[in-house]
Amino acid sequence: NCNEADASDKLMTAIKQSNPTLVATILQEHPRLVDVAEDNDGVTPLLAATLVGDEAMVTQLLNRSPQPQVDRCAHQVFALVKKGNDGK
């Protein structure tokens, strides 16, 4: 529904801005979003908090026992690859 979609966008923005108070408020009103929210790239709330490097936010989300429900076929797969000493 529109309300949940709007809340999903707000949740992802709050996570990327490291705003734990707003994240808690949104998840209090829409607890299901910890499982179903995603941005345009298929990034879930937990992954977004991890990518931002916000340990407290990651813990806050893990305490909600997320079970992400992302359609992996609808999004491109990406990987973080560490370059070797030779730059390759």
What are the angstrom distances between the C-alpha of 12 and each of 16, 35, 40, 78? 6, 12, 10, 19
pLDDT (0 to 100) of residue 73: 58
- pLDDT at residue 3 in the model: 87
Q: Which residues contact 78 (CB under 8 A, 6 or more apart)?
A: none
Tens of pLDDT, residues 28-76: 999 989 988 878 788 889 999 999 999 999 999 999 988 877 665 554 5
The CA distance from 71 to 6, in Å, is 19
